[in-house]
Amino acid sequence: MHNLVFLTQTDTTIGFVSQNAEKLTTIKQRPPHKHYIKAVNSLKTLQTFTRIPKVHKNRVRRSQKSTFIFPNTYSYRRIHNQNHLYLLDRLKWAYTTSANLSNHHYDAQFAKENANVIIEPLVQNNQASSIYKLGKRHIKRIR
């Protein structure tokens, strides 16, 4: 299950979900130095990867559809959407990205050809997550 690429409805859009970043990089034809957002099923799982600055703990806990770039330069999003959480509860965490070639629009045929497992229904939604960069004391909205 750790090497599979899932095509699923995420909390914001149709996306690829996998614990294998190299597979996602190959599929998306993306530069290998770029980090993926790591979706986690709970705060407990998030705290195994990074320390949440004390001043931001409540914001991270309560936020929905928000991605946070932590001081360690990695991005994390805690998932609340029940359908997406159903998969993440089994994986605990996974890299998540939109189901398209890098810098291209969504193509259903491309997405289905490159996924190992397709979880339906898939509904196109253009609502992107908000992105915040967390400092030790400050926060900056990126998107």
Beta carbons of 59 and 139 less than 8 angstroms apart: yes
Instruction: Quote the pLDDT of residue 117.
Output: 93
Q: For 70-88, what is each residue's pLDDT tens digit?
A: 988 899 999 988 888 889 9
Candidates 3.90.870.10, 3.10.580.10, 3.40.50.150, 3.10.20.30; correct CATH number of 6-141?
3.90.870.10
pTM score of the predicted model: 0.89
Instruction: Quote the pLDDT of residue 20.
Output: 95
Instruction: Quote the pLDDT of residue 126.
Output: 65
Instruction: Quote the pLDDT of residue 36.
Output: 94
* Segments of the chain scoring below 50 in pLDDT: none
Of all residues in the chain, the percent with pLDDT exceeding 70 is 99
Beta carbons of 14 and 123 less than 8 angstroms apart: yes
